[in-house]
Amino acid sequence: MTFSLQVNGRSYTADVDGDTPLLWVIRDVLGMTGTKFGCGQALCGACTVHVDGVAARSCVTSIESVGESQVTTIEALHTVAHGKALQDAWTELEVPQCGYCQSGQLMSAAALLNETPKPTDDDIDNAMSGNVCRCGTYQRVRAAIKRASASA
């Protein structure tokens, strides 16, 4: 079946089954490989994108459920509110280690700042608790979110 979808401000079509996860449409059909596959079960956050500005696990989001919603991936992080500030903070504080989880970390962080521009430590911990980092960059992730929040 052919689905129309809006990704990063552009229209695309994908000829896939309706239960195909958005993650695979983004990566395999559209060729945007910045969004990562980790667990496939909404447990790690590596696949996080925005659907209408809200953080969503694209590995468990079926393409048929997306409809006309606006999907934003890491490739367009700089276009969302606080996106550039987050990119700068991530660079300045050298947050990533292997980097695998960081697309998801950044998209969750951007969704947090979109909703709560000046988050408390608890706000940050709650919003980021679903993003797992096997390299243990959690302290720098939190520090970078605070820096981006302060600079906005």
Task: Return the number of the residue (13 or 71) whose C-beta is nearest ligand FES.
Answer: 71
Count of residues that bind ligand FES according to CB under 6 A: 23
- Residue 39 binds ligand FES, judged by CB under 6 A: yes
Nearest distance from residue 59's CB to ligand FES, in Å? 3
- Residue 149 binds ligand FES, judged by CB under 6 A: no
Task: Return the number of the residue (78 or 134) whose C-beta is nearest ligand FES.
Answer: 134
75: phi then psi, degrees, rounded to nearest 5: -65, -20
70: phi then psi, degrees, rounded to nearest 5: -85, 120
Identify which range of 27-35, 83-91, 114-122, 129-137 contacts ligand FES by CB under 6 A.
129-137
Nearest distance from residue 64's CB to ligand FES, in Å? 18
In this structure, which amino acid lies at residue 73? T
Q: Which residues of 36-64 are buried (b: 16+ CB within 10 A; e: fewer)?
A: bbbeeebebbbbbbbbeeebbbbbbbbbe
Nearest distance from residue 94's CB to ligand FES, in Å? 11
How many C-beta atoms surround the C-beta of residue 70 within 10 A? 14
Residues 51-70 close enough to bind ligand FES by CB under 6 A:
57, 59
Task: Return the number of the residue (39 or 81) whose C-beta is nearest ligand FES.
Answer: 39
In this structure, which amino acid lies at residue 38? G
Residues 111/152, Cβ–Cβ less than 8 Å: no
Q: What is the C-alpha to C-alpha distance for residues 98 and 120, in angstroms, rounded to an integer?
A: 27
Residues that bind ligand FES (CB under 6 A): 37-40, 42-47, 57, 59, 96-102, 133-135, 137
